[in-house]
Chains A and B, each alone.
Chain A
Amino acid sequence: MSRNEQVFDSVTAEKPTSIKSAGWKIKVENLSKSFFSRNVHVSAIENANLEIGDGEFYCLVGPSGCGKTTLLRIISGLEKKTEGQLHIRTQATNQNGEEKVKNRPLNSMVFQEQSVFPWMNVRDNISFGLKAQGYPRAIRHKIAEKYIEKLGLRGFGKALPYQLSGGMKQRVSVARAFATDPDILLMDEPFGALDEQTKMLLQEELLKIWEETRKTVIFVTHSIDEAIILADKIVVMSARPGRILKIIPVNFPRPRRIEAMRADPHFGEIFSEVWGLLRSEVIKAQKK
C-alpha cells in the first residue's frame, strides 16, 4: 500500500465501536484569553481546564459570546491564548501500528458560517485540505469522491456552491474536514444556520461517520438537544468571561439513534441539568 493511500484507508476501515484508547488527546490547563478593544480589557475565557480523551466527542454549550468559539479557535491554532497551557498529543502511528502519513494536519475545522469556497466546485472544495498537503490530483479526486458518496453529494461533484442549498454546503464543509483525516475535528456551530429538519439529517450523518472513524471531536453549539444527541461529554460554560461550569457525561450507548434517544427519559434529565446550569448564565449574558 502506498503511503498516500493510507489516509484513504484509515478513514474507511470499519472499527469496533467500543474501542477507546486510554489517555488524553487534548489537555487545557488554566487557559485564559483576554483582548483589548478600544483600550478596554476584555476577558473572554477565564481559567479553563479540560482533558479530552482520544476519540471522545465533546460538545461545548454556553450563552452566546461566552468564548466557546474562542476556545475552539485557540485549540485550532487560529488564535493565541493569553495564559495557561494547551497540550495536544499527536500520534506517530495509526491504530494498525503503521506509520502515519506525515504532514497531516493536526486538526480540521468545520466553520459556523458558510466557509465553502464559492469559486471551487464541490470536489475541489472537499479536496482543498489534501491539496494543501501536496497530494497529487488523482489521489485527491479519489478521496473526494469517497466523501461525496458518504455525505450524499453524489452527482454534485462538479456543482458550484451557489447551486447548492445551505445544508448541502455544510455537507461539503464536513466532507472537507474529514477528507484530510485529521487527528482532531473542531466544529464551530456547523449546523447553527440550518433549518431543524436539515439539521437533524446532518446530525444523523455526522454520528454515522464519526462512529466509523472515532476522531476526537470538539463541537460548539448553542443547542442543548444537539449536544445531548452528539456528545460523550457536554461542557457547560458560563457567561463572559467564559468559565467551565460543569462537564456532564452523556451515557447513551453508540451507535445512537436520534428518535430513540429523544424518547428516553434520560434525555430529559440531561436536558434539565444543562438548562438548569445555563439559564441564569443566559440571563446574565443578555443583561450585558
Chain B
Amino acid sequence: MEHELLNIATKNFTVTQPIPTSSPILNYESEKKKSFQFRQFFIKVVSVATPLLLLGFWEILSNLKIIDVRFFPAPSAIFSKLWDLFQSGEIWDHLWASIGRTVYGYIWGVVPGVIIGIVMGISPIVRAAIQPLIDATFPIPKIAIFPLFLIIFGIGDGSKIAIIAVAVFYIVLINTVSGVANIPSIYIDVGQNYRSSRWLFFRDIALPGALPFIFAGLKLAMGIALIVLVSAEFVGARSGLGYLVWSSWSVLLVEDMYAGLLIIAVLGLLSTYALNYIERVVIPWKR
C-alpha cells in the first residue's frame, strides 16, 4: 500500500513538464508593459484632443452663425489674424515688452521672497516682526495700488515690473515660510548636533529643505505674474500683450484681441512647463 502511494508520488513528480523557454509569465509581464505604455500614450492624446475638440466645436458654432461672430470669431479667423500679426512683425514689440516685464518682475519678487521667507522661517523674532505686515497687506489686490506704483516708478516699465514683483513676492514668501516650517525636525537636529553656523544652516538645510514648497510657490507666482502683468498693461501701458488686448477691444478689433489672449495663454503654458522641468532638475529626490 505504502509502496503504491510512493510510486504514484514519484511518478507524478517525474512527469513534470520542462519549463518552456518562452515562459507565459514573461509574456504576461511584457503584455502588462505594453498596455501601460498604451495607457500613457492614450492619456497624452486625451490631453491634446480635448482642447482641439473644443476649438472644433467653436469653429462649427461660429460657421453656422449660432454664436455672434462679431464677438466670438471662428478659431480659424483668430489663427489667421495671429499669423498676420507675426508676419507684419507688429506682435513682436508687444511680446518682448510683456516677457521682459514679467521676467524682471518675477526675479525681483522671487529672490527677496525666498530669502526673507527662509529667514522668517528660521528666526522667530524676524517672523514676529514681519508676519503681521504680510498678513495685513497680502489681501490688498495689487492692481488696486497700481496708481501708487505709477507715481513712484513712472509710467515706463518700472511700474509694471514693480507691481509684478510685489505680487510674486507675497506668494513666494508665504510658501517659503511654510516650506521651512515643514522641514522634518530630524534635519534641524542634525544641523544643531554638528554645530552648523547660521549661514550653513540657511544654505545647506533650510533652503534645500524648503525647496518643494518654494517650487509650489514659484509655479503659483508665475500664473499670478501673468495676471498682474495683463491687468497693469490694460490700464497703464502703451505696449505689451495686455495693451494689445485692451486697445484692440476698444476699437472692436475682436480678432486681434483673441490673438493677444491666445498668446498670453501660450506664455502661461510654456512657463509652467519650464518650471516643471526646472523642478525635476533641482529637486530630483522629490517624487
Q: Which A residues contact B (CB, under 8 angstroms)?
A: 76-78, 105, 107-109, 111, 113-115, 117-120, 128-129, 131-133, 160-162, 180
Inter-chain contact B189/A78, CB cutoff 8 Å = yes
Question: Majority SS of interface residues in chain A?
Answer: loop
Q: How far is the CA of A129 from the CA of B285 in the complex (A)?
A: 22
Whether A120 touches B204, Cβ cut-off 8 Å, given contacts A111-B186, A113-B186, A162-B287, is: yes
The CA of A77 and the CA of B200, in the complex, are separated in Å by: 19
Could you say which of B51-59, B160-168, B205-213 contacts chain A? Answer: B205-213
Other A-B pairs, 10, CB within 8 Å; known A115-B187, A118-B285: A78-B192, A107-B193, A113-B186, A114-B186, A115-B186, A117-B209, A120-B204, A120-B208, A128-B204, A132-B200
CA distance A107 to B194 in the complex (A): 8
Q: Are B190 and A160 in contact (CB under 8 A)?
A: no
Is residue B3 within 8 Å, beta carbon to beta carbon, of the partner chain?
no
Determine if A115 and B190 form an interchain contact, defined as CB atoms under 8 angstroms apart: yes
Contact A132 B189 (CB under 8 A): no
Known contacts A105-B195, A128-B204: A111-B189 contact under CB 8 Å: yes
Give bound CA distance, A133 to B184, whole Å: 23
Residues of B within 8 A of A (CB): 184, 186-187, 189-197, 200, 204-205, 208-209, 211, 283-285, 287
B190 touches A111 (CB 8 A): yes
CB-defined contacts of B184 to chain A, threshold 8 Å: 113
Contacts of B208 in A (CB 8 A): 117, 119-120
Task: Check if A78 sits within 8 Å of B193, measured CB to CB.
Answer: yes
Residues A108 and B204 in contact in the complex (CB < 8 Å), given A119-B285, A160-B284:
no
The one of A107, A118, A119, A128 in contact with B190, judged by C-beta atoms closer than 8 angstroms, is: A128
Known contacts A115-B187, A162-B287: A76-B193 contact under CB 8 Å: yes
Note all chain B residues with C-beta closer than 8 A to A77.
Answer: 192-193
A117-B205, A119-B211 known; A162+B193 contact, CB < 8 A: no
The answer to whether residues A162 and B196 also contact, given A117-B190, A120-B204 and a CB cut-off of 8 A, is: no
Q: Is the CB of B285 within 8 A of A161?
A: yes
A76, B195: Cα distance in complex, Å: 11
Enumerate chain B residues within 8 angstroms of A78, measured Cβ to Cβ: 189, 192-193
Shortest Cβ distance from residue B190 to the other chain A in the assembled complex, whole angstroms: 5
Residues of B within 8 A of A129 (CB): 194
Q: Which residues of B contact A109 (CB under 8 A)?
A: 189-190, 193
Query: 8 tightest A-B contacts by CB?
Result: A119-B208, A118-B285, A132-B196, A129-B194, A132-B194, A162-B285, A109-B193, A115-B186
Separation of A110 and B192 alpha carbons in the complex (Å): 13
Q: Which residue of A lies closest to B211 (CB)?
A: A119
A160 and B285 in contact, given A119-B208, A119-B209, A131-B200 (Cβ under 8 angstroms): yes
Minimal Cβ-Cβ distance residue in B for A130: B194
Instruction: From B184, B186, B211, name the one whose CB has the most chain A CB atoms within 10 angstroms.
Output: B186
* Residue of B194, B208, B284 ringed by the most chain A CB atoms within 10 A: B194
Bound: A160/B281 CA distance, A: 13
Instruction: For the complex, give the distance between the alpha carbons of A78 and B209 in Å.
Output: 20
Set of chain B residues within 8 Å of A161, measured between Cβ atoms = 285
Minimal beta-carbon separation of A174 from chain B (angstroms): 13
Q: Which residue of B lies closest to A116 (CB)?
A: B190
Residue of A whose beta carbon sits closest to that of B283: A119
- Interface CB pairs A-B, < 8 A, 28: A77-B193, A78-B193, A105-B193, A105-B195, A108-B194, A109-B190, A111-B186, A111-B189, A111-B190, A113-B184, A113-B186, A115-B186, A115-B189, A115-B190, A117-B205, A117-B209, A118-B285, A119-B209, A119-B211, A119-B285, A131-B204, A132-B194, A133-B194, A133-B195, A160-B284, A161-B285, A162-B287, A180-B194
Q: Which residue of A lies closest to B208 (CB)?
A: A119
In angstroms, how far is the closest chain A Cβ from the Cβ of B185? 10
Q: How far is the CA of A284 from the CA of B283 in the complex (A)?
A: 46
Kindly list chain A residues whose C-beta atoms are within 8 Å of the C-beta of B285: 118-119, 160-162
Chain A residues within 8 Å of B283, by CB = 119
Residue of B nearest to A117 (CB): B187
* A188 to B206 CA separation, bound complex (whole angstroms): 23
Q: How far is the CA of A132 from the CA of B191 in the complex (A)?
A: 8
Residue contact A108 to B193, C-beta cutoff 8 Å: yes
Residues of A within 8 A of B190 (CB): 109, 111, 115, 117, 128
Q: Are A132 and B195 in contact (CB under 8 A)?
A: yes
Question: Min CB distance, A88 to chain B, in Å?
Answer: 14
A126, chain B: closest CB distance, angstroms: 12
Which residues from chain B contact A120 at a C-beta distance below 8 Å? 204, 208
- Chain B residue nearest to A125 in the complex (CB): B190
A134's closest neighbor in chain B, by CB? B197
Q: Would you give the shortest CB distance from A176 to chain B, in whole angstroms?
A: 8
Report the bound CA distance from A105 to B283 in whole Å: 30
What's the minimum C-beta distance from B201 to chain A, rounded to whole angstroms?
9
Nearest-neighbour CB distance to chain A for B42, whole angstroms, equals 29
User: In the complex, what distance in Å separates the CA atom of A108 from the CA atom of B208?
Assistant: 22
- How many Å from the CB of B262 to the closest CB on chain A? 39
With A and B bound together, what is the CA distance between A66 and B177 in angstroms? 35
Q: How far is the CB of A271 from chain B (nearest CB, A)?
A: 31
Distance in Å from the Cβ of A156 to the closest Cβ of chain B? 15
